[in-house]
Amino acid sequence: MGSKYGTIIMGPAGAGKSTFCSALIQRLRNNKRSCYYINLDPAAEDFAYEPDLDIKELISLEDVMEELHLGPNGGLIYCFEFLLENLDFLTEPLEQVGEEYLIIIDMPGQIELYTHVPIVSSLVRALTKGSLNIRMCAAYLLESTFIVDRAKFFAGTLSAMSAMLMVELPHVNILSKMDLVKGQMARKELKRYVEPDVSLLQDMPESGLVFEYKDGVDNGDAEEVAKGDTFGKLNRAVGQLIDDFSLVSFLKLDVQDEDSVGAVLSYIDDAIQFHEAQEPREPNDEVDDGDMG
Binding-site ranges for Mg ion (CB under 5 A): 17-18
Q: Determine the residue with CB nearest Mg ion.
A: 18
Interface with ligand GTP by CB under 6 A: which range of 7-15, 88-96, 119-127, 184-192?
A: 7-15
Cβ distance 139 to 172 under 8 Å?
Answer: yes
Q: Any contact of residue 128 with ligand GTP (CB under 6 A)?
A: no
Q: Any contact of residue 15 with ligand GTP (CB under 6 A)?
A: yes
> Residues 73, 78, 84, 86: what is their CA dihedral angle, to the nearest 10 degrees?
-130
Q: Which of 3, 19, 26, 91 binds ligand GTP (CB under 6 A)?
A: 19
Interface with ligand GTP by CB under 6 A: which range of 79-87, 111-119, 172-180, 241-249?
A: 172-180
Q: Any contact of residue 167 with ligand GTP (CB under 6 A)?
A: no
Query: Which residue, among 107, 182, 116, 113, has the nearest Cα to 141 in the 3D structure?
Result: 107
Strands (E), the chain: 4-10, 34-39, 53-54, 101-106, 134-143, 171-176, 250-252
| 144 contact partners, CB below 8 Å, separation of at least 6 | 175, 176, 177, 178, 180, 181, 190, 252
Cβ distance 40 to 55 under 8 Å?
Answer: yes
Interacting positions 244-273 with ligand GTP (CB under 6 A)? 255
Q: Which of 39, 159, 176, 260 binds ligand GTP (CB under 6 A)?
A: 176
Q: Which of 4, 17, 56, 171 binds ligand GTP (CB under 6 A)?
A: 17
CA 145 → CA 82, 175, 254, distances in Å? 35, 9, 12
| From Mg ion, ligand GTP, none, interface partner of 176 (C-beta below 5 to 8 A by class) | ligand GTP
Chain residues that interact with ligand GTP, rule: CB under 6 A: 11, 13-19, 41, 108-109, 176-177, 179-180, 255
